[in-house]
């Protein structure tokens, strides 16, 4: 007779409350995914929502490079179905080194590349290897998921509230007071959620400060300050906005930088789960076992296929040109539409899109009254208003740790067509005019 486990789990509130560790009990799921869940339910109920929520791609809108599909099928058919090495396959690790040499001018020796199932395992493992409970982690907001990683590693945090006039990047002055004590500084460029890039001069100043601080620490035998440089969007920069690395601006930074990278965004392959960290070999040696114990390696056929395509830049280039153009088309429609509304005197603004798949926009609506008579008091009220009255789904910066009431939100364009973007702008304009 089958055992009904569901029935056994009923009335187990006390057991459920006593089971998780205190750390697990305080763990929260992604605020962005919670919003996306609500939006998806609305879409499933038949409403035609322009979904700018998750930092993901809708495969029907943005497909991965065709060759990648082909190579994965070939690798699978060739029987590459056994465990890959925990550190990643030698082919992919070497291909990543060649990519960094060819595209970024950085020659890393063997032993510096850790493959993972996307960028997250290398991020989590790097923090785990670097941070003792109570160590100081410094990052700015808005930013993606640093709060969760800080919590999981029981880090102390210093959170810098970045400003729109700085492209929501932290300034060197704002960081300076915390560098003496910090264990890890986190930077991300192009930035999720803002779609901005760090300026060369700013990154150079920050790197110089890190190198100086680490000279001081070396003299007294203290643990170094490490920069976690998340560049998962690095190939997606627009116009004059270039991507820079800490190591090219100050070569000494090779000793103190953990690069985070993946095919998730730059090849629209979020669901393939292939990412990597590039770091000094002594750190990589610690990160490897952690990724191994979690079993957070990428699937072998996908690793092998990625390795092949990374070595074929001429095959990827036309796909990449089109991909970037498609992303930019959508961002430009949104930016121009929002700027036109602003110029009409409507309470909205936007930053120019410099990279990634995001646009920062501001809806200055708190204090206004919604068509249903409700006073708009919070960012969440504004989000609900845009969703229910304009069928436009966005994520407020509060979900990225930004202070409440700013009105700033993220538009992510990976799941929308050009027509979706145009329609959204029309509906937003109609709503803002109606609000008066
Ligand atoms: C800045 C940044 N880093 C890392 C990731 C995680 O990437 P992956 O899906 O490869 O784990 C994301 C995903 O949204 C991101 O925006």
pLDDT tens digits, 371-406: 989 999 999 999 999 999 999 999 999 999 999 999
Q: Which residues contact 92 (CB under 8 A, 6 or more apart)?
A: 113, 115, 274, 276, 298, 303, 304, 306, 307, 310
pLDDT at 434: 94
Three-class DSSP category at 107? coil
Q: 275 in ligand 1 pocket by Cβ < 6 Å?
A: yes
Which of the listed residues 55, 119, 260 should we mutate to test ligand 1's pocket, taking the one with most ligand atoms within 8 A of CB?
A: 119
Interior/surface letters 272-288, b for 16+ CB within 10 angstroms, e for the rest? bbbbbbbbbeebbeebb
**pLDDT confidence bin for 65, thresholds 50/70/90:** very high
Q: What is the pLDDT of residues 224-261, one digit of tens each?
A: 999 999 999 999 999 999 999 999 999 999 999 999 99
pLDDT at 171: 97
DSSP class of residue 369? B
Tell me what the pLDDT averaged over the chain comes to: 96
**pLDDT confidence bin for 36, thresholds 50/70/90:** confident
pLDDT at 47: 92
Which residue minimizes the CA distance to atom 5 of ligand 1? 119
Q: 118 in ligand 1 pocket by Cβ < 6 Å?
A: yes
Which residue minimizes the CA distance to atom 4 of ligand 1? 119
Average pLDDT over residues 2-7: 96
Three-class DSSP category at 429? helix
Residue 25 scores a pLDDT above 90: no
Which residue minimizes the CA distance to atom 16 of ligand 1? 192
Residue 19 scores a pLDDT above 90: no
For β-strands 113-116 and 392-393, DSSP reports them as: unpaired
Residue 32 scores a pLDDT above 90: no
For domain 66-316, which CATH number applies: 3.40.640.10, 3.40.630.30, 3.40.50.300, 3.20.20.105? 3.40.640.10
pLDDT at 31: 84
Nearest atom in ligand 1 to the alpha carbon of residue 262 is 10
Residue 291 scores a pLDDT above 80: yes
Q: What is the pLDDT of residues 85-143, one digit of tens each?
A: 999 999 999 999 999 999 999 999 999 999 999 999 999 999 999 999 999 999 999 99
Q: 270 in ligand 1 pocket by Cβ < 6 Å?
A: yes
Average pLDDT over residues 335-357: 98
116: enclosing H helix or E strand? strand 113-116
Place of tokens 């003299």: 219
Average pLDDT over residues 187-210: 98
Greatest C-alpha distance within the chain:
71
Nearest atom in ligand 1 to the alpha carbon of residue 143 is 1
The fraction of the chain above a pLDDT of 70, given in percent, is: 100
The least confident of 28-37, 51-60, 386-395 is: 28-37
pLDDT at 234: 98
Question: Contact 147/26 with Cβ under 8 angstroms?
Answer: no
**pLDDT confidence bin for 67, thresholds 50/70/90:** very high
The fraction of the chain above a pLDDT of 90, given in percent, is: 93
Peptide bond into 193 cis (omega under 30): yes
CATH number listed for the domain at residues 19-62+318-435: 3.90.1150.10
Q: What are phi and psi of 401, to 5 degrees?
A: 85, 5
**pLDDT confidence bin for 29, thresholds 50/70/90:** confident
pLDDT at 377: 96
Distance 265 CA to ligand 1 centre (A): 8
Distance 266 CA to ligand 1 centre (A): 11
pLDDT at 215: 98
Which residue minimizes the CA distance to atom 14 of ligand 1? 55
All structural domains of the chain with their residue ranges: 19-62+318-435, 66-316
Which residue minimizes the CA distance to atom 13 of ligand 1? 55
pLDDT at 396: 97
The upper half-sphere exposure of residue 344, i.e. CA atoms within 13 Å in the direction of its Cβ, equals 14
Q: 416 in ligand 1 pocket by Cβ < 6 Å?
A: no
């Amino acid at each position: 007779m089958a055992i009904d486990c569901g029935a056994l789990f009923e009335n187990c509130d006390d057991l459920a409350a006593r089971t998780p560790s205190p750390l697990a009990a305080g763990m929260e799921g992604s605020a962005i995914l919670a919003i996306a869940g609500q939006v998806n339910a609305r879409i499933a109920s038949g409403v035609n929502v322009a979904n700018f929520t998750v930092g993901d791609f809708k495969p029907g809108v943005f497909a991965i490079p065709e060759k990648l599909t082909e190579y994965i099928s070939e690798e699978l058919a060739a029987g590459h179905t056994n465990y890959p090495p925990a550190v990643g396959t030698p082919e992919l690790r070497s291909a990543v080194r060649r990519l960094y040499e060819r595209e970024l001018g950085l020659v890393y020796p063997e032993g510096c590349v850790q493959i993972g199932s996307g960028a997250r395992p290398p991020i989590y493992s790097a923090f785990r290897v670097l941070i003792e409970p109570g160590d100081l982690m410094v990052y700015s907001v808005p930013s993606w998921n640093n709060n969760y990683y800080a919590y999981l590693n029981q880090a102390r945090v210093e959170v810098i509230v970045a400003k729109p006039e700085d492209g929501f990047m932290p300034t060197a002055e704002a960081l300076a007071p915390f560098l003496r004590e910090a264990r890890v500084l986190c930077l991300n460029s192009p930035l999720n959620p803002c779609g901005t890039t760090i300026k060369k001069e700013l990154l150079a100043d920050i790197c110089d400060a890190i190198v100086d601080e680490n000279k001081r620490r070396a003299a007294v035998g203290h643990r170094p300050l490490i920069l976690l440089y998340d560049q998962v969007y690095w190939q997606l920069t627009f116009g004059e906005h270039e991507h820079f690395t800490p190591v090219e601006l100050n070569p000494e930074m090779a000793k103190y930088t953990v690069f985070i990278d993946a095919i998730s965004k730059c090849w629209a392959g979020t669901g393939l789960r292939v990412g990597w960290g590039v770091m000094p070999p002594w750190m990589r040696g610690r990160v490897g076992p952690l990724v191994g114990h979690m079993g957070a390696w990428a699937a072998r056929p996908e690793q092998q296929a990625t390795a092949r395509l990374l070595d074929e830049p001429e095959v990827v280039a036309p796909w990449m040109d089109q991909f970037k153009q498609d992303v930019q088309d959508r961002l430009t429609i949104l930016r121009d539409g929002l700027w036109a509304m602003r110029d009409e005197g409507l309470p909205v603004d936007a930053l120019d899109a410099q990279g990634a798949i995001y646009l920062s926009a501001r809806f200055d609506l708190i204090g206004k009254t919604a068509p249903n008579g409700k006073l708009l008091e919070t960012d969440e009220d504004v989000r609900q208003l845009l969703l229910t009255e304009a069928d436009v789904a966005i994520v407020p910066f509060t979900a990225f740790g930004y202070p409440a009431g700013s009105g700033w939100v993220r538009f992510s364009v990976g799941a929308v067509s050009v027509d979706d973007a145009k329609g959204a702008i029309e509906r937003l304009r109609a709503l803002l005019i109606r609000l008066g």
